[in-house]
Chain A
């Protein structure tokens, strides 16, 4: 391994699992954002947010793994998971309330609310 230096060695280092993880995280964020903008259904929008948040979790743990501070990264990830769950619960409550009031889960109905 020590003999093959230069470009060949550089090529081997590019596609380690950390780079692949970074790419897959970016693709997951694109998929989540696409899910959020393509539909008016509130539950689908929550699913898009969840997919994007999973990518954020992946990034945080990757950063902790690269720097060696995996314990600190875990503390951040736990906070992110709590925020994710609470936001999912609140959004699901809003969705159910919207369905009981208007009969569907179209997010455009939120503009009709008063008070």
Chain B
């Protein structure tokens, strides 16, 4: 299981960096969807099955569709995006920054003795559905309100176009 987690973590980091660095917005959206799928695999392997299902269906499916529809509505060329927003030169620093931060983190992990997370507590047998519906009811109300506010916001944003 650990080998699969290591492979998924490496792919997750590579896909996230590719999504950040890619010059094409469409490729960025596709890389982000693949990164969500990898995160779903990691969540499944760690035992969070429901979270993995929702991550893959919502983040990897719905958000990608929204991104691709927004990109297709914009109809900007790849070269124009780079020229308009002038972020081509700054992209070169990202891999070096990430490598530097990774080396710093490894040095910190070696030097600080209490950094290691080795003590795993006892597995408490708790069901996600019991906690979600009984213990965390405030979260459900918050989610409903958030979804309603998001729907109202989007409908207000597109209201003026329908009138014209």
Whether B39 lies near A31 (C-beta < 8 A) is: no
Whether B153 lies near A82 (C-beta < 8 A) is: no
Whether B9 lies near A21 (C-beta < 8 A) is: yes
Whether B146 lies near A83 (C-beta < 8 A) is: yes
Whether B25 lies near A88 (C-beta < 8 A) is: no
The B1-53 residues at the A interface (CB cut-off 8 A) are 2, 5-6, 9, 12-13, 16-17, 19-20, 25, 28-29, 32, 35-36, 39, 42-43, 46-48, 50-51
Interface assignment of A110: CB less than 8 Å from any CB of chain B: no
The A10-63 residues at the B interface (CB cut-off 8 A) are 10, 13-24, 26-28, 30-32, 34-35, 38-41, 43-44, 46-48, 50-51, 54, 57-58, 61-62
Which residues of B lie under 8 Å from residue A92 when comparing CB positions? 66-67, 69-70
| Given A28-B13, A78-B132, residue A19 in contact with residue B109 (CB < 8 A) | yes
Which residues of B lie under 8 Å from residue A94 when comparing CB positions? 157
Chain B residues packing against A (C-beta within 8 Å): 2, 5-6, 9, 12-13, 16-17, 19-20, 25, 28-29, 32, 35-36, 39, 42-43, 46-48, 50-51, 54-55, 58-59, 62-63, 66-67, 69-71, 73-74, 76, 81, 84-85, 87, 90-91, 94, 97-98, 101-102, 105-106, 109-110, 113, 115-124, 126-128, 130-132, 135-136, 139, 142-143, 146-147, 149-150, 153-154, 157-158, 161
Closest 10 CB pairs of A and B: A86-B150, A71-B126, A68-B121, A77-B51, A39-B87, A35-B20, A93-B157, A74-B51, A13-B118, A71-B128
